Amino acid sequence: MVIIDVSLLVMMGSCCSWNGALSPDDFNASAVALAKRWKEIDATLPQWIWMPCRRLGVLSNAEGYLVLEKVYHPSRREEQNSDNSCFPSEELVDDATLVQSNNEDIMHAYDFHIVYSFSYRVPVLYFRGYTSDGDPLNLDDIEKDLPPYSFKILSESKWTFMTQEEHPYLSRPWYMLHPCGTSDWMKLLVGGDEPREDLKTLHYLTAWLSVVGQAVGLRIPIELCHKSL
């Protein structure tokens, strides 16, 4: 996996005329493209699903967020034997296996939500961790699950830091990667003074997830970065 130092991207300059933000409609289109491409690459992985939201009691696809649930993190003993998954060295198990999992190591699971921020006009990654018994993980537990490079990014970069906020749709405390500075480095990642509209829309979330995913140890299939949507 390639480690991207977000602070270096921002220091490279801000000459692009596009400001790196995304409209709500473009977020929706990019979310659909990301979920579709992710499934095409590997349908055995946990899948991103669009969750429509209710406004005045009416369910509408016009507003919503992406959900990736029950991504299991390996115990230390499993890390040596695991293969292909959403976490580096993770083994996916079903609920039946979880119930039987045991004694020395407690399995950790994570849910990830990609939510549009109307204030910053960029996507935001919300996530929560919990044990196989359903007990929520605190920040110390989550930090122990992060690979060393992710912990380094979170501790040293002012552009990518973790905080606990109320989930905008669930009204419960979730951890999130703060969107401060996201538009600055996104205009550099997507590239060009004014990227083509189709490129910006379809590949925005893919480029964004390639940075924020590694910050929380979420592995992104390399094929997702190929611009073949």
- Exposure string over 190-201, b if 16+ CB within 10 A, otherwise e: beeeebeeeebb
To the nearest 10°, the Cα dihedral for 201, 60, 45, 218? Answer: 60
Asked if residues 53 and 169 have their Cβ atoms less than 8 Å apart, the reply is yes
Active site residue 180: yes
Measure the CA–CA gap between 225 and 210, rounded to whole angstroms. 8
Which backbone phi and psi does 17 adopt, to 5 degrees?
Answer: -75, -30
User: Over 73-103, what HEC string results?
Assistant: ECCCCCCCCCECCCCCCECCCCHHHHHHCCC
Tokens 């749709």 found at: 169
Asked if residues 194 and 19 have their Cβ atoms less than 8 Å apart, the reply is no
Burial class (CB in 10 A: 0-12, 13-18, 19+), 37: buried
DSSP designation for 44: T
Residue of 16, 53, 180, 225 with catalytic role: 180
Residues with catalytic annotation?
180
